[in-house]
Chain A
Amino acid sequence: MSRETKSSVAEKDVQAQLDAIFRAAVDGVIVINGEGIIQLFNPGAEKIFGYSAAEVVGRNVSELMPTPDKERHGEYIARYIAGGEPQIIGQGREVIGLRADGQTFPMELSVGDASTDEGNRFVGIVKDITQRRTIENELLASEREHRVLFDQAPVGVFTANLDGTLINYNNIMADLQGHTGQEGVRCEDFVVPENRSRLRRALERLRSGSNDNEQLRVRCQNKHGEEHHVELRMSIIRTSEPFIIGHVADHSEEIAAQAELRNAQRQLAQVGRVATLGEMASAIAHEINQPLTAIAAYAQACQRLIEAADYDPDTINASFSSIYDQAMRAGQVVHRIRAFVRDRESSRTIENINDTVISSVELAQFDATESDVEINLDLSSDLPAVHVDRVQIQQVCLNLLRNAIDALVESKTENRQILILTAALERGVEVSFADNGPGISAAVADTLFQPFKTTKEQGMGMGLSISHSIISNHDGRLYFSSREDGGAIFTFEIPADV
């Protein structure tokens, strides 16, 4: 075969391939001459513009454009051919096209030029971007919507890189943390130092893929130094560039309310138990009174009968038996009280005795204020922990406090004061209650801790006796001493655990 023949065969092949591309392209391909007259119009272009090739070939391409390009297109070509700067050729741009039905649409147009034997030829490639525009607009709207949601959310919202550096965060987040709009802020900068390692571990779990969501309660400190309790939820969004989206809800008020509730309940429970002791005391009084009443009545009846010399010996004998029985009955009641205090299920916990003292003072504060008594505390900060039944020790403290208040009120002391002192012992703690009342006489002091000994008009004489038993059960001791200026001091000691 000749060279020429070979080359013309090759040209034919290339022509066939170009033809195939021209026909198969989804994009519109339009070829015009130097006057703007359409030479070729591919099926892609037919579909975009709504004209058949037969309809437009031979007509000016400006018919595919709306005003003002329509009128100016001739000039554009002339300027380019005259050597002017190309506006479209070689760069492509977005322009508006006009379909056969008169609708305009956004399109991307790129143009190349070629000089042929028949003069200038321009090839335009047209891509209908209507759909892309719609999607872009929708995306933009959606983005705006999300931006508003993000900024206006009632909780803190943020996005972050996997290393925890914040990408974006809203105002609430900024308020929580204090540095607004700074670069390079990290998630952990938001939380108090104690919580940071926990946060880092959560981020690590998200990164490693062991978890897609993390939820943790942490504390944040804002720029005013106020602490907030927040719940932090983070989720990883696994796209080609994974990131973390998180939100932060402030639970401070809720937590404060819960704490207050718990506190109130605890106090109520304590008051309840104290009241129960009071009721128990009243029941005991009744139980003791019954045999005492019988004993007194029997004794006086016998006395009367014997005095009147009008009796039957059996009656007197039976009465004495009854007196004995009733005395034993009274004794049983006392034993039962002791056993009650001793055997009562005691739940011991490790306590700082100062806390116990303070809670007792809170319970007695109302009485103290009502009675014009000032309670002063001198609590050692260096006390060993003790293993005690908190409620029982509280009752002892409360009892000693009420005794002191009663003594101050009954004696009409001026400038009524109680000083509570805690101190560390070699192996334990000591708590003393000193008042500036009249003190206790030696005679009374001897029987202080015996049951039913009382100097109070409304008293039961049970308080110190029970207190004494409680402290003894804690392997401690409760004792009385006098102040030099005459006031009373009650002190109890409790050994610390070895």
Chain B
Amino acid sequence: MSDTKNPVIYVVDDDAPVRESLALLIRSMQWPVHCYADAAEFLENFDPELHSCLILDIRMPGMSGLELQEELIARGLQVPIVFLTGHGDVPMAVKAIKLGAIDFLEKPFNDQALLDCINKALSEDLNSRSRREQTREVENKIASLTPREREVMERVITGQANKVIAVDLGLSERTVEIHRSKVMSKMGARSLADLVRLALEL
């Protein structure tokens, strides 16, 4: 589990004065900051275990902000992104939002807007971490099922009656009932609805 009390703010901007001033402003808001001048440096140092968000310049030489966003998605790394945009970058910002960015800040921006964005991004990070946590738990529970139990669960959640499942799998109805109660207890489900909800997490 990551340390949800102590988030880290990543800043990636090729312009040193912008990067450093931003770092100072974020520090003045009492968050630790990690600054990088380009996408490659960030990718090298990014720690997915940390509770964090990313303030990312949309225009950069080499890998642009948008390309870094796509790279993170491709690598399955989930970090909420707030883009920094300039004049005329609206179409790029729209694309970034469609790809899941939290928001964008038009340069120059005021501290309150930055603060709001960071808060929004961090809370999104918490939400997505807890969702991922739940998913991982469900995955673990499913992994603890025997192959037969999994077959039974797959049919139970599609609404098949025990009798039908028994015929389908060539088992007695009684055996199906035993598998079914095993599935319920291993999955920690109190009802059929509960089981369906868990399965949907995946």
Contacts and interface: CB of A to CB of B under 8 A. Distances in A.
**Size bracket, chain B contacts:** 20 to 34
Contacts of B59: 286
A304 B25 contact: yes
A304 B29 CA distance: 8
Given A292-B107, A308-B28, A285 B86 contact: yes
A289 B87 contact: yes
Contacts of B87: 282, 285-286, 289, 460
Interface string A282-299: 100110011111111110
Nearest to A329: B17
A296 B21 CA distance: 8
Interface in A262-312: 282, 285-286, 289-298, 300-301, 304-305, 308
B15 interface: yes
Contacts of A292: 107-108
A289 B24 contact: no
A292 B59 CA distance: 16
B111 A304 contact: yes
A456 to B, nearest CB: 12
B84, B86, B110: which has the most chain A beta carbons within 10 Å?
B86
A319 interface: yes
B107 A290 contact: yes
A316 B84 CA distance: 25
B24 A315 contact: yes
Contact of A322 (B21, B29, B86, B88): B21
B107 A289 contact: yes
A373 B161 CA distance: 72
Contacts, number: 74
A35 interface: no
B30 to A, nearest CB: 9
Contacts of A308: 28
A326 interface: yes
A452 to B, nearest CB: 11
Contacts of A282: 87-88
A75 interface: no
Interface string A430-466: 0000000000000000000000000000001000000
A212 interface: no
A293 B21 contact: yes
Nearest to B88: A282
Contacts of A305: 28
Contacts of B109: 293, 296
B20 interface: yes
A296 B108 contact: yes
Given A282-B87, A290-B15, A298 B28 contact: no
A289 B17 contact: no
Given A297-B25, A300-B25, A322 B108 contact: no
Contacts of A319: 21, 24
A293 B17 CA distance: 9
A39 B110 CA distance: 139
B189 interface: no
Interface string B5-30: 00000000001011011101101110
A292, A304, A305: which has the most chain B beta carbons within 10 Å?
A304
Nearest to A306: B28
Interface in B57-97: 59, 84, 86-88
Contact of A298 (B24, B86, B88, B107): B24
A94 interface: no
A15 to B, nearest CB: 122
Interface string B105-129: 0011111000000000000000000
Nearest to B89: A286
A296 B110 contact: yes
Contacts of A296: 21, 108-110
A301 B17 contact: no
Nearest to A315: B24
A297 B86 contact: no
A325 interface: yes
Contacts of B84: 293
9 contacts: A293-B18, A293-B21, A294-B17, A296-B108, A297-B21, A297-B111, A301-B24, A301-B111, A304-B28
Closest 5 CB pairs of A and B: A297-B21, A285-B87, A304-B28, A294-B17, A301-B25
Given A304-B25, A304-B28, A325-B17, 6 more contacts: A282-B88, A291-B17, A294-B20, A304-B29, A304-B111, A329-B17
